[in-house]
Structure 1
């Protein structure tokens, strides 16, 4: 049984523990080798009624209002996750986010030994440990679970947390984790169809009275779902310029948008889609996420990057490639503040800080950003 693997880097390390794995086409675990986004060939599923063309005055983002808030996104063993949650709550941060993957690591050797916790179980525990913190799934691939499972788990987490859970979904991008665990990995256009149908299914399941849903991939009878959710919120995340923000505007309470070039256009598409669906575009929370590393000066910045690499078991050059691929925001305090101010001016109202929780560096970074 051969192993065929692709990397972002040229490394070709394969551990003996992976020899029994059936053929795997390996993308780098920390970042897709290429950004997936909607193209002209995509099929489109219109699951909500189309409305008249939106009023440009409603679509346009209006500057001002609530300032951008910060939260942490982390994947970690539960003890570290719990510490990050309690820190966030004590600090007054609005939320804590976790991603959902079955594999983590920057190459097969690391992925073979790095834990990939079940975040739904972790979130259930956090729901009982915390009192005010919003718990955000950012995000789960729609390919992992049937929307009935997502609906029922989402409702239960919503109730366990007292209405503090946000269920985040995306198309999924990491082909390797699908191959290793035996999940189908359809073409991108089909995954977009599945994502939109899953969101429509969940919205139908939350409706009162029940409406039911009929799609190409999923079907739900108009049945009263019990128990009822208290305040289950939906999030759509992704980097596409058209399809992702359109779906977010039509179904989501939060749109987690790629912070790179074209952000203003993606936000405009999401707001227009919200208006077309008869929703209030100002009610859509626009957020973004990436690594942020800052220091008083360049010399200290290098020391901090070395520390982060060592803490995460990476070589420094591996960390540098990861940060570049994710378009991380790295620089002096003034440079980082200026970049985040640009995102805020475009309409980002929440920013999730990736890179884990460091008891020393994380509080300092938040002091700088919130100051």
Structure 2
């Protein structure tokens, strides 16, 4: 047994999912013993799938799941800073945290998918400005949450100036719900993580890239005098596990992927192969794996990993 790895479920509803489908998967994950249910925050499908019945809003979904689940943690990988203003987002997350009894986590990033912005009338500034806006959003959100009760919060910002805010409501989790940042940016991303993140996540990258980027984050922490071990380090990987080769290839085909390619770039193969791959990421410093589930109808997939992989990690 590895003894150090937490497994979480990660879904991509923009590829096609209703709230009821997401609830079914979340409850299955909860019953099977996974630590968390996360979803992406996108408003447009990717690739050739239909995307029917159309996108669902991430925080509306999590509000529903907060009431319709019991104990599993809930969050986003990643909400786009371009989608929401930081003050209202701080209110939304605090409210969903209260609705869930303190089970919410906020993953947030710059936003990257230009087409979804043009499809729904969302401004999409250049990357440098998106990083500036993300940094200011983090300052506002954390500032609002950390302001002592009875005091007000002000922020002299370029994009999001705040004046005399009562900084309410407060989240249930104290000092705040965990904040997740991530990505392979070599400079600003590690610096932002060192300053604001409780968890640093890398989506769909190799063990070698994981080692290098976790190292940059640790260096950024050292540069500001923060203990790098205060952060949790995690990866997100496509899951494609099967008892037999036929089952593995069937599951790969169902999501439009090749089994051998997924073995090289994801978390694929027999349960023993999956455990071995998880071990390599653990050796690189990863403490959590988000299992990207793309076929939301295949609940046996979740049960298989829960019974054969989860006990070994």
* Structure 1 length-normalised TM: 0.73
Any idea what SS the aligned residue of 2:200 has? strand
Confirm or deny that 1:359 pairs with 2:299: yes
Structure 2 CA distance for aligned equivalents of residues 226 and 283 of structure 1: 27
Instruction: Please point out which of 181, 193, 215 is paired with 2:157.
Output: 215
Asked if 2 retains the 8 angstrom alpha-carbon contact of 1:104 and 1:114, the reply is no
Structure 2 counterpart of 1:368: 308
Structure 2 counterpart of 1:236: 181
Shift of 1:290: 2.0
Shift of 1:222: 5.1
Structure 2 counterpart of 1:129: 68
Structure 1 counterpart of 2:117: 178
Structure 1 CA distance for aligned equivalents of residues 2 and 161 of structure 2: 40
Structure 1 counterpart of 2:169: 227
Any idea what SS the aligned residue of 1:199 has? helix
Q: More deviation in 133-142 or 297-306? A: 297-306
Shift of 1:203: 1.0
Alignment of 1:269-348 (within 5 A): 269-306=216-253, 308-309=254-255, 316=256, 319-320=257-258, 327-348=265-286
Structure 2 counterpart of 1:167: 106
Asked if 1 retains the 8 angstrom alpha-carbon contact of 2:241 and 2:301, the reply is no
Structure 1 counterpart of 2:211: 264
Any idea what SS the aligned residue of 2:299 has? coil
Structure 1 CA distance for aligned equivalents of residues 89 and 272 of structure 2: 42
Asked if 1 retains the 8 angstrom alpha-carbon contact of 2:202 and 2:234, the reply is yes
Cα 1:230–1:72, aligned 2, differ >3 Å: closer, same or farther?
A: same
Structure 1 counterpart of 2:200: 255
Structure 1 CA distance for aligned equivalents of residues 273 and 95 of structure 2: 42
Structure 2 CA distance for aligned equivalents of residues 336 and 240 of structure 1: 27
Structure 2: which 5+ residue stretches go unaligned? none
Structure 1 CA distance for aligned equivalents of residues 221 and 276 of structure 2: 30
Post-superposition CA distance 1:145-178 (Å, at most 9, x none): 1111211111111111111111111111111011
Q: More deviation in 125-134 or 326-335? A: 326-335
Any idea what SS the aligned residue of 2:240 has? strand
Structure 1 counterpart of 2:141: 202
Any idea what SS the aligned residue of 1:226 has? coil
Any idea what SS the aligned residue of 2:38 has? strand
Asked if 1 retains the 8 angstrom alpha-carbon contact of 2:32 and 2:302, the reply is no
> Which is helix-richer, 1 or 2?
2
Structure 2 CA distance for aligned equivalents of residues 66 and 270 of structure 1: 24
Structure 2 CA distance for aligned equivalents of residues 174 and 265 of structure 1: 25
Structure 2 counterpart of 1:101: 42
Structure 2 counterpart of 1:25: none
* Structure 2 length-normalised TM: 0.85
Post-superposition CA distance 1:194-226 (Å, at most 9, x none): 111111111111122355322322222353312
Query: RMSD between aligned alpha carbons?
Result: 2.4
Asked if 1 retains the 8 angstrom alpha-carbon contact of 2:32 and 2:306, the reply is no
Structure 1 counterpart of 2:10: 73
Q: How many aligned positions are there?
A: 295
Specify the structure having the higher radius of gyration (Cα): 1
Any idea what SS the aligned residue of 2:281 has? helix
Structure 1: which 5+ residue stretches go unaligned? 1-63, 310-315
